Chains A and B, each alone.
Chain A
Amino acid sequence: METIRLDYPAEHTVPRRVHVGVVGSGDLEVLLEPSQDNQAHVLVNTSVDGFGVAWKNVLDRFFARFQCAVSIEINDFGATPGTVMLRLEQAAEAARA
């Protein structure tokens, strides 16, 4: 098990918090909440060690488009990068809807 923390600049806000996903095999849960300091913060708890670079790549790409001040907690149970991106997009869509 590994914990990863990343921060990103933000320009917008989101109106609500959102929970999607499940800590099941090959899946993850995302808890997304508005943050108060005009920055985005990500905390990843993952069951698979040694994929810090892959996490950074996925989150860099996500926050290149989603520039919102949020705190995101990810509880991951071995999801592939594609699944991680889909869950993040799902959370983002629900937060903005």
Chain B
Amino acid sequence: MNAEATPAAPRDYSRFLERRSFIEMRARERARAVLDPGSFRELLGPFDRIKSPWLPLQGIVAQADDGVVLARGTLDGRPALVAAIESAFQGGSTGEVSGAKIAGALELACRDCEQGRPVLPVLLLETGGVRLQEANLGLAAIAEIHAAIVALRRHVPVVGVVAGMVGCFGGMSLAAALCSRLVVTRQARIGMNGPEVIEQEAGIAELDATDRALIWSLIGGEQRWAVGLADDLEEDDAESIAAAVRRAFASGTPPALPRTVLIERYRERLAAIDPRQPLDGKTLRLLWNEPP
């Protein structure tokens, strides 16, 4: 290629190269990356061996922390709690134990808040939803997580992060929606049913689960942010995400009206959509466009 044909646009690769990918981190590293340096202190860690009693009964190897890392630490010096889901273990699925770890931690944080000791809660959500092998017990734990988020967000913002690449699905997508503020990357996906499930149930004419561009145009992080269902769109960079989490708390008291109580707003929006007409991500952005 000759030099004159190439636009003289110097590209700044240094930022890209210096970036620390948050997506590539395991749950424990993610929790460390979000908290103030050196403040990470794990609760119910792998050596406590609080793991699933159900998986071995079904011939599946359990993980010593059941795929959830709970950590206390600080955010800009203020006491914080991080619950990070490990997506590499059973797709980040929420079982009885892993769900109870998250719910119990949020309930304790709520009790601290009620007693005048605010704790800043952060959920690093990377999960396919309920762990099917633990069925109703996992679902019950997810309901407890929902209730704990609703109770806690009256005191402090509950900040969720969906970074990818698993995304956040099923009952845990409701947990993401309940958060006071939600941070996403372009790589994230948030939805009730995953694309494969929709294709399997409704047919390939409804949704082609192999069409990545289509999937991300519907449930990708950027789309969710553009239609007002997520609050911050960040690069896949640990520093950017840690900064977005801090900004979410710095914005002060929790929003007076979380999205999930604006039932009439969303009911009207849904009523305005004709399900017989095809709807794509771009059109939804026009219909639901709201200032971020």
Contacts and interface: CB of A to CB of B under 8 A. Distances in A.
Contacts of A77: 61
Contacts of A76: 61
Given A1-B56, A19-B47, A29-B46, A47 B61 contact: yes
A23 B46 contact: no
A24 B91 CA distance: 9
Contact of B89 (A24, A45, A46): A24
Nearest to A17: B47
A23 B47 contact: no
A73 to B, nearest CB: 7
Contacts of A19: 45-47, 64
Contacts of A4: none
Contacts of B26: 22
Contacts, number: 45
Interface in B51-109: 56, 59-64, 86, 88-90
Interface residues of B, number: 15
Interface residues on A, range: 10 to 19
Contacts of A17: 47
Given A22-B26, A29-B46, A45 B86 contact: no
Contact of B46 (A27, A31, A45): A31
B200 to A, nearest CB: 21
Nearest to A33: B47
B101 to A, nearest CB: 16
B70 to A, nearest CB: 14
A24 B86 CA distance: 9
Interface string B126-152: 000000000000000000000000000
Interface string B266-292: 000000000000000000000000000
B86 to A, nearest CB: 6
Given A19-B46, A19-B47, A22-B89, A1 B59 contact: yes
Contacts of A1: 56, 59-61
B88 A31 contact: no
Contacts of B61: 1, 23, 45-47, 75-77
Nearest to A19: B46
Contacts of A22: 26, 63, 86, 88-89
Nearest to B27: A22
A47 B62 CA distance: 10
Given A1-B60, A31-B64, 9 more contacts: A19-B47, A22-B26, A23-B88, A24-B88, A45-B61, A46-B61, A47-B60, A73-B64, A75-B62
Interface of A: 1, 17, 19, 22-25, 27, 29, 31, 33, 45-47, 73, 75-77
State the 8 A-B residue pairs at the shortest beta-carbon distance, nearest first.
A24-B88, A23-B63, A1-B59, A19-B46, A22-B88, A47-B61, A23-B89, A45-B61
13 contacts: A1-B59, A1-B61, A22-B89, A23-B89, A24-B88, A24-B89, A25-B88, A29-B63, A29-B64, A31-B64, A33-B47, A45-B56, A77-B61
